[in-house]
Amino acid sequence: MQEVPAIYQGDKDWGETKEVWAGVRAKFDGLKLKTHRRFKEVNHGRWIRYEIKLPEANAANAATTKINSATLTDEDRWRIDSVTETPMQFTAKVERWNLGIKLYSVTVTGRMRVQLQLTSTIGLYLDYSEIPPAVVAQPAIEGAKLTLASFEIDRVSKIGGDAAEVWGEIMQEIIVQRFIENQNDQIVNKLNREIEKHRADLRFSWSMLFDR
């Protein structure tokens, strides 16, 4: 959790434009009239920009982890299945443009809980390059999947009732597609890269313990 960014930012179709006809430019070339059609890019479509915030690692509502099972494999490694759940808050700005005219702009805020289902293995080995030998931990992430556990809209600016429910469905779909599914595509590699960065912290020597 210390390696997870505290804020995620993303968007869907933000800044989208459309080419529209902007008249005809005419000029004479000698006695001949030449015309040229003109086009311009104008704002168009539904723009969405969102920000997702995680709680601080030491906050009262920070992530919680539950170990579902731990078994010893034939390779003398422990296989651990766990679920980590964390609350998140999100804010999204939604604008609707129609051929250069802004029809509305709303802000949507809400809360959600996301679960990380993790399968990892860890082995403990002795390093005899020093006496007494050091204990080396070798963890690895084999599988990981993010899922949306709960989702609630707290407020939609200038809109209420059924319209707020519609925005909730829209935002849930976008966050699942843009945030959760994108993370699932790369989360195993990300976690294993973070482990590699901290290999030195996973070696425990007796001299280090005595120093402490």
> How confident is the model over 128-150, as pLDDT tens digits?
888 888 899 999 999 999 999 99
Kindly report the pTM of this predicted structure. Answer: 0.71
Contact 62, 55 (CB under 8 A): yes
The rounded distance, in Å, linking the Cα atoms of 30 and 27 is 9
Pairing of strands 45-53, 203-204: unpaired
Smallest Cα–Cα separation from 82: which of 145, 137, 136?
145
pLDDT at residue number 131: 82
Residue-wise pLDDT tens digits, 37-66: 788 899 999 999 999 998 876 776 778 889
Residue 211 has a pLDDT of 66
pLDDT band for position 79 (50/70/90)?
very high
29 versus 170: the higher-pLDDT residue is 170
Residue 210's pLDDT is what?
Answer: 67
pLDDT at 62: 78
- Decide if pLDDT at 158 tops 80: no
Cis previous bond, 133, omega within 30: no
Helices (H), the chain: 162-175, 181-184, 187-197, 206-211
Q: Tell me, what's the pLDDT at 164?
A: 65
> Considering only CA atoms, which of 111, 92, 89, 8 is closest in space to residue 50?
92
pLDDT at position 32 is 77
